[in-house]
Structure 1
Amino acid sequence: MRFQRLDLLKFGKFSERSLELPDSTTDFHLIVGPNEAGKSTLRAAILDLLFGIPVRSPHGFLHPLNELKLGASVSNGETSLDFVRIKAQRQTLRTPADGVLPDLALEPFLGGIDRDFFDRMFGLDHFRLVEGGNDILNAESDIGRILFQSAAGVASLGTVRDQLAAEADKLWAPRKSTERAYYAAADQLELANGALKKASVRTKVWADANSAVETLRESLEAARTSWRELDMRRARLERVRRLAPLIDALSQNDAALELLKESIDLPEDAAQALSQAERDIARAEAGLKIRKGEVDAAKESLSAISVDEPLLSAEPRIAALEARRVRYEPYARDIERRKSEIQALQGDIRRACLDLKWAYESEADLLLNLPSLLIRRKLSDLARKASGIEQTLKAAEASERAKKSDIGSLEAQLDCLSEVKVTAGLRAALRKAQSLGDPAQVPEKQRALAEKAEAGLDAAMRALGVWRMNLEDLSKLQLPSGEALSRRLRERQNLDAQVKSLSEDLSEQISAVGEAELRVNQFTELRHPTTYAMVEQARAERDEKWASVKQRTDDFEVDAEQFESAMQDADTLADTHLSNVEDVTELQSRKDELERQQHAQTRLEHQLETAKEQLETFSAEWSALTTAAGLDGLPLEDASDWIRKKDGALDRGHALLEVQTDAQSALNALASATQELRAVLEENGVAQVSDENLSALCIQAEHLISEADGVKGRREALNGQLVTARQVYAALQDDLTEARKELASWAADWAATLSDAGLDAAYDTGTVEGALELIGEIEEKARKACGIQAERIDTMKADLALFAEDVEALCGTIAVPLGDQEPAEAVQQLVIKVRLANEARGERERLTAALRAAEQHVAELETAKQEAEAIIEPLKARAGVSTREALAECIAQSDEKRRLLEEASRLRRDLTAGGDGQSRQDVEAEIAAANLPEIATEIAALSGDLKTVVERQGALSAELATAESTLTAIGGSDAAAQAEGQRQEALSKMADAAERYVKVFTAARLLRWSIDRYRQDKQGPMLAKASAIFAELTQGSFERLVVDFDKQPMVLEGRRPDGKHVGISGMSDGTRDQLFLALRLAALEIRLEQASKLPFIADDLFINYDDARSAAGLRALASLAKQTQVIFLTHHHHIEALARDTLGDAINVVHL
């Protein structure tokens, strides 16, 4: 199965996002995004899409849980399916059109796997990669565990097995220990049996003990009754002593209340209210005196202030005039400066007109008579063109003369060239000779190649070791194929592993037999059980003695005594046998266990012998095969490597033969090329052909050909140059004519334009350019002078005139005479008056506000005084008084009455609490009847009597407990039932421990068997694939993975290119991670060959890898992508560049 498309419709941070995953030969998809871009969400989405969204999904933070939705398009090569997964209780698979799909619609694509298996087998992230590397280190000495948990993706498999073994050891083991559940239950059973035997009853003893118990109980009850009576008397006296002061205080309180019964009850806070009201009244009266003085002072100050309102109403106009005055103040000085500027400009204009011989009256007339801008620009343009036209004419004349000279020179050179010709055969013979290389180095090169090939062949032959033979014999060898050798090697490894496993099991079984024998011997020595066989033997001896008695008549007494002794022994043994039947059963059980262990040992010995015979048969077959091939003693482990070296030696031999053949062919080619080149040189007219080697002939041929080519190229070049020169000469003549015409036209245009500009016709271009500059300067300065007069001087005069009119109008409006003052001076005086008027108005406003505030304070104080008096009035009315002094006295009486009532209530509560349920009248009667001065003496006497009674109770209680214990111990109790219950409980615990032990021990053995079985079946193919991947991941740092069969147990190691082996503990953390990755990918490839193909999800596996090993990891994943779809998630953008450099366009990159 593969994903064609993933739709993140409403999931996590995604909304309506689709990821296209197109199919290709290398089905590799790189998904890149920054942190928190949603890569982890994408991994979770794939699981939820395939297996359902959990009830409590953590991805409902953006969309409501009931709206979560995912979609995809999947295919398995034969069929495809577009579907949607929603969050619901049922019918969660839907079509894109929201049609219901069956719950098993994905089953043909998933192949029956569940969520956990898919996540474990087809998912790998950095955390699992590191965890897998650490687990490999922990399982270093167990190759089966390494392969199994790497293939299954199950981490900490060793922890599970260790936990099972530890639990089994806590349940049962051959060695007895109180910490083991079975033996603890056995001890409990033994104690219960002993208690059961002791639980018997005798009637007389029980009756005496029961009578003693009843007598002690009666004595104890009488002592308790006496104690209760004494305690009641002491309690009554204590109550009288404790409550007498309370009764006295309560009587006094009642008398005081009787005196105040006519007083009026006022509120509890009446005194506080009266005090607060008096303080408020005093504060208000003091404040009124101060505020009324402030009101009078403010009114007096207001009457002395006068404000000029008309002047203040004109304040905005005055402020505007003041601003204009400030702005116009520099106008007088500026006007004078501008007039000076105009005079300076007029002087410059006058001098320029004198240079041009023009008359100057005014700037306006001068501007009207100046040449127009078009005429001046035309003059400037003609002046610029003059030098160009003259230069063009001179250049045309010079070029025409030079080109005519060039044509004559070219014609002379062509006449002097002589013709040299060579044949095509000479060129072909030279090319053939040159293709052979340096003739002097060809023999040396071929000899070096031959020596190198011979050295390679010699090294390859030496690598064959003691099985070295000639090439012909090597080529005739008939050896097994690589697959057959691998199969034989796996068979040999399986046999070795079987022998070692059986040896280990036999060793453990021998120990188990020894422990079983020790348990039988120890139990026999400790318990000395009487077996049925011993009873049978004693009975046989008894019967023998009886037969002797019946047969003999003499020595009858001696035989009778022996018979009686034998009969007594037999009966004693029979009784003993019946009494310790449990010991006999236990002994028989241990003997049965010993017999089973011995049987298992015999079976393992037979299996080990069979396995050794199979290994010897396999070794003999291999030895016969190698001896027949002439490779006697070649180990099977080295056979594949030796065959590879043999093939290398044959390849070296073939290479040497090819080098020798090529050397002879090269020498023949040199001789042929030399003869051919000498003949062609003679045909081409070379008078003296060299008799030396091919190099000299090549030099002669090259010289002749170079000379002929040089003459031919020179002639062709000169002819081409001559044709070009003649064409250029004709064009130059035309250019010269055009240049002369252009000069004549310019002269006529120049004279006419000078006349239009009013300039002397004799002016040359330089003079005209100067005149144009003067005309431009005159125009600029004339316009500037006119602008200063109109825009600055006239404008400022107009502003000053309007300012004077506005000042005069304002003074008339506010009735202020202007007199002889200047407008600016008058405005300054008005500004001062406005400031003084504003100050007077501000002071008036301030005093008015102060007056209003003081009057408001007076009103507030009068209100406060009235409110305080209003608070007191109800209290006066209730108390029936008219003055505050009388009210204060009434409040004091009310508070005292309230205090006495509260005190009476408190005393009654204390009396109730300490009266032991007695009423006040009862307590007063007890106090009246008691002799208060003698109470302390009576209490002390009663305490002494109570102490005596308590001691008596203690003694009787101890005697009663002893008597009851004796009665319980001798019978009439449930001791036998309890003992039997404890016995059954112990048996139940032993049965539970045994059952749990069988389950745990079996689980551990099954786990061990699964690991060994997986190692036996998968070790060869998986290690072969993992070796190749591991070598690539480590960049050749490790050549392959090997298994050390000589160690117990077998261990997995890495082999360096120099042959050195490195154990897992000797590898770095990163290398162990790469080993785990290699094993996981190899196991996945083996599974893909046998089961349904599913996408492999990898999440940032190369965080701790450098670029080289990251590229190697990408290549390994790309190799896996040729078998199944690979989706690689990362937030490292350099991985994208590295993947493109490593894999090219074979990958599909998706950005989140």
Structure 2
Amino acid sequence: MRLRHLDLIRYGRFTDRRLDFGPGGGESDVTIVYGENEAGKSTVFSAWLDLLFGLPLQHPYDFIHARKDLMVGATLDTEEGPLNLRRTGQRQGSLTDENGRAVDERRLSLLLHGLDRDAFRTRFSLDDAVLRQGGEEIARAKGDLGQLLHAGSSGLSGFAGLLKQAEDEVEAFHKPRGRTTILAEGRNRLKEIDAALAEARLDPRRFDALRRAVEIADRDCRDATTVRDNARRRLALREAADRRRELARRIDEARAALAGSPDGPNLPEEAMTRVSVAVDRTAQAQEAQAEAEATIAQADGLLSELRPDPEGIAIGEMLVGLEAAQFDDGESLVARASLADADLGRRKEERDNARAAARRLAAALAGDGAEPAEVVLPRDVRNGIREAAQDVRETARSLDQLQKALEDARAELGEVEEMPEGAEALADALGALDALPDDPAALARDQKEREAEARCSAAGLPSGWRDLAEAGLPTATELREAERALQAAEDDVSAAAERLHEAKEKLAGSDAELEGERLVASVVTDEAIVETRAERDRLWSSHRAALDEQSAEAFAAAMRGDDDLRDRHARSAEGRVRLAR
């Protein structure tokens, strides 16, 4: 695989920029990309990595183009022929061809022979960070290269070859009377840089002449500004005089037209004032209407450019339905939810009471210390409890009805005569005797069936269920109260979960705003770059004049500070864009 073209369509500060690496096939297929600081070398390499492995979610080069609009293209020479690719900022299907058709990521993975982003960057990028990391790995005998060098030195394997290679490298770096060595070329380059600096250095006389020219230009600019302001004032006076003459002419024409008309009624004293106010309000209303129409037109243009968001539309419809939702009694769901939020404290107290009741119920069912969540009754027992509770409710209603009927009957009968002592017990005994069947064998069979049903029902209960039953099971009222308390607690938990979700969304928004403020706070301006470069040049001149250790250390410190500030300036590009906005 060979890179033929790299297209920075929308990436960083580049738009529709192509880098052509030419056709391959020559003896040396190496292209050197060089340029000044902030020319875009790192941006180009980052675009190449993003094309191969995709754009990260937090992108450092989306300060002009939004991340979703970033696009990088390339033409790759492969064994099968040219391959044109595009990489966008979409989360899925970001790799396409030049016609926008999706391309399988495995095709690039085969061309890369399984290398990931970090491995590719380590092997094919020689920037400052990679060189420093490689040196540290060699020193600690880590990494592929470090382990190889460490194994070779410790086992002395291939020592002669390494020695020959070191001698060749030394001769390539420096050789007496050599003209093509690295040191000789570096000296020649240093001479060229010194000549360029001497040519670019500003002569004091030239600087004084330029400063005088600037002062003269500033003075001329101030004079021209004064002349322009005076001309504008005269023009405003002339236009006002023209308007006054035009108004006077129109007044004379109106008076001449009214001269032949009969006199009408006298206008009120405040009529002219009211007319002036009405005219001013009419003009203001017309201006407001024009502004509103322009705003509507602009909004219509923006709406026509927007793409419909199915999820947003669905959410909007859900919100409209939620606002229109009502209970059976006609009360709005939103209004009741607002009242419920105000009643949250009482609901929490009811939840705590329900939990306490649940603990008491669990202790009654499974013993002291039992957790309600761990107490599980068999399904048939739970069904039996529900049926028993239903029977209790129906019995309670029947009892209330019978009690009312009894009270009505007593009211109709009047005063009840007292029964003799023992009459009630005798009546109960007679009733029980009448209810008994005549066959003792049937009674025995019925008793055995009921004992078998009781044993089946108690099969899934805890071992001490008899003691619990003798101690007393919870009443139907307690079960209903526990059920209502449990439902209220679940509703409170759901509401708390929704509030937690809203709080997390607000926290995410606050974090994004804080990150933006941090970017703005860390901005390095162009003026700071100019100041540090001027200070570095000044210290360089001082060092060349003095050539002592103190001036050398001062110049080295200034140079490091300038390089550090330029590096921060390059990283704070997004912050400068935010600050400009």
TM-score by length of 1: 0.15
TM-score by length of 2: 0.28
Larger Rg: 1
